[in-house]
Amino acid sequence: MAAHSTAGGRNYNFKCVLLGEGCVGKTSLVLRYVENKFNEKHITTLQASFLNKKLNIGGKRVNLSIWDTAGQERFHALGPIYYRDSNGAVLVYDITDEDSFQKVKNWVKELRRMLGQDVCLCIAGNKTDLEKDRHVTVAEAETYAASVGAKHFHTSAKLSRGIEELFLDLSKRMIEKADEDSATKNNKSGANSRRSVVVVDDEQPTQKSGGCC
């Protein structure tokens, strides 16, 4: 991946993992975000477990790799394989399903235990289009999110609500975190850690696009 740098422009490469019980709409959420599609007949790629999204936030280029995880309970133990080295996590629950919110709490606990404060968390209460069946109260969810240092969003993949905001906020926080890290490490962060920022070389920007011998 080529990266022509501009003055002050930086490239970020973030890994973001989607966690949550099955059927809470993790995949719909990410598909709506990346492909702007919901339950449509024309999905260009059927594979929806790994998706890329490029963002440009105030001149900062962010490449977001979104990893979907298996929601089945039997695969719970495999979580660490997916979420290790991730910069952010989106924890999705279904507002009509109290259990799925409990599951989110478990995930948060596990993530904090395994990754500490390095990971930015977002909690998404999905399916707000089914507000009338709501079983998880807004207050409860928001206080919980605040208590664990996560942001809470009300989303609806069906109505495309709150999703872009969620990922934008997450990206901003991940940028912040990355900037902080690189500042404290005094740019020492090598290429060994995925968490580190990919600092583009300081070569003079040559406009020649790789003319070959």
Partner 1 sequence: MNKYDEDLYENNFFHQIQNQKKDVVNQAAQNGWVICVPKFSQTQGVVIKDNDILDHILQPVLNKQCDSRDNFISLSGNEACINNGVIKLCKGYQQQIEVQILFEETFHTEEDESFRVICIENFFNKQDKPKEEGATPPPSSRRLTSYEQCLDILWSHSGGKKARDNLDKMLASFAVSYDNLEGESIRNIADVAASQFTKAMQTLLKDSVVRRSSKHSPEYRESLKVAVETYLMNSIHKKLFRVITASLASQDAEINKLTRNMIDLQLQDMGIRKVFSQNIPPAKKELSKLNQYSTPLGRLFCIKRVVASLTRPSRQSSQSSSEDSLMTTDDFLPILIFLIIKSEIPNWLANLAYMQHFHLAKSNSDDEFGFYLASVEAALEHIKSGQISEEVITKDKLMFERWQPLTLAESYKDEGIQRQSSTNPNAIDEFFQYVQLGDEAAVLKMLDNKCTEEIYLKLCHPLCSCDRCERLLAKNRLDSSLVTALTRDDRGYTALHVAAYYGQARLIDILIKYGAIVDATDYLGLTPLHISCQKGFQNVMLLLLHFGADVSCADNDGNTALHLGAANGHEDCLKGLVFYDNKRVDVNMKNDMGETPLHMAAKWGYDVIVKTLLENGANATIKNRRGQTPISLAQNIMVQRLMVETRSQMIVKPQKVAVKKKGPKVKSTSGLKESSVTKGKDTDSNYSATSYITETLHPTTSSMKKQQDKLFQAVTTGDIQLVKFYLGIDKNLYDSDDEDDEKQQLHTGLEEKLCHPLCNCTNCSSLQNPGSVNRKYNLINCQSVTGYTPLHLAVMNSHYDITQLFIEQGAVLDVSNHKNLTPLHLACFLQHKQIIQILLEHGANVHKTDMNGDTPLILCCANGFYRGVQMLLQYGANSNHSNVKGNTALHIAVEREQDDIVQVLLQCGANPYLTNQYGKTVVDLSKDTRLFPMVKHFCQLNEQGLERDKLSKEAHSVKDVYAGLEEKKRKTLKEITTSIRKFDRQHELKKTTTKTYGEPYLDGDLAMMLSIQHFDHRSLKHVESMDRGEPLYIYTLAKAAAIERQAILNKHSTDKHHSSENIDGCIADKYDPSLSTDVSNGVSGKVSGDELHVLASKSYSDQEKN
User: Is the CB of 72 or the CB of 184 nearer to partner 1?
Assistant: 72
CB 15 within 8 A of CB 57: no
Note whether 206 binds partner 1 by CB under 8 A. Answer: yes
User: Is the CB of 44 or the CB of 147 nearer to partner 1?
Assistant: 44
Note whether 63 binds partner 1 by CB under 8 A. Answer: yes
Measured distance between the N- and C-terminal CA atoms of the chain, rounded to whole angstroms: 21
User: Is the CB of 36 or the CB of 143 nearer to partner 1?
Assistant: 36
Cα separation, 87 vs 102, in Å, equals 23
Note whether 54 binds partner 1 by CB under 8 A. Answer: yes
Q: Which member of 81, 132, 186, 190 binds partner 1 (CB under 8 A)?
A: 81
Cα separation, 90 vs 151, in Å, equals 10
What string marks each residue from 126 to 155 as x (binds partner 1 by CB under 8 A) or -?
Answer: ------------------------------
Give just the sign of the alpha carbon dihedral 201, 194, 9, 181: negative
CB 64 within 8 A of CB 167: yes
> What's CA 24's distance to the chain center, in Å?
16
**Contacting partner 1 within 151-190 (CB under 8 A):** 164-165, 168
Note whether 55 binds partner 1 by CB under 8 A. Answer: yes
Give just the sign of the alpha carbon dihedral 69, 127, 14, 192: negative
Give residues in contact with partner 1 (CB under 8 A). Answer: 1-6, 9, 13, 15, 22, 26-27, 31, 39-50, 52-59, 61, 63, 65, 67-72, 74-75, 77-78, 81-82, 164-165, 168, 198, 201, 203, 205-213
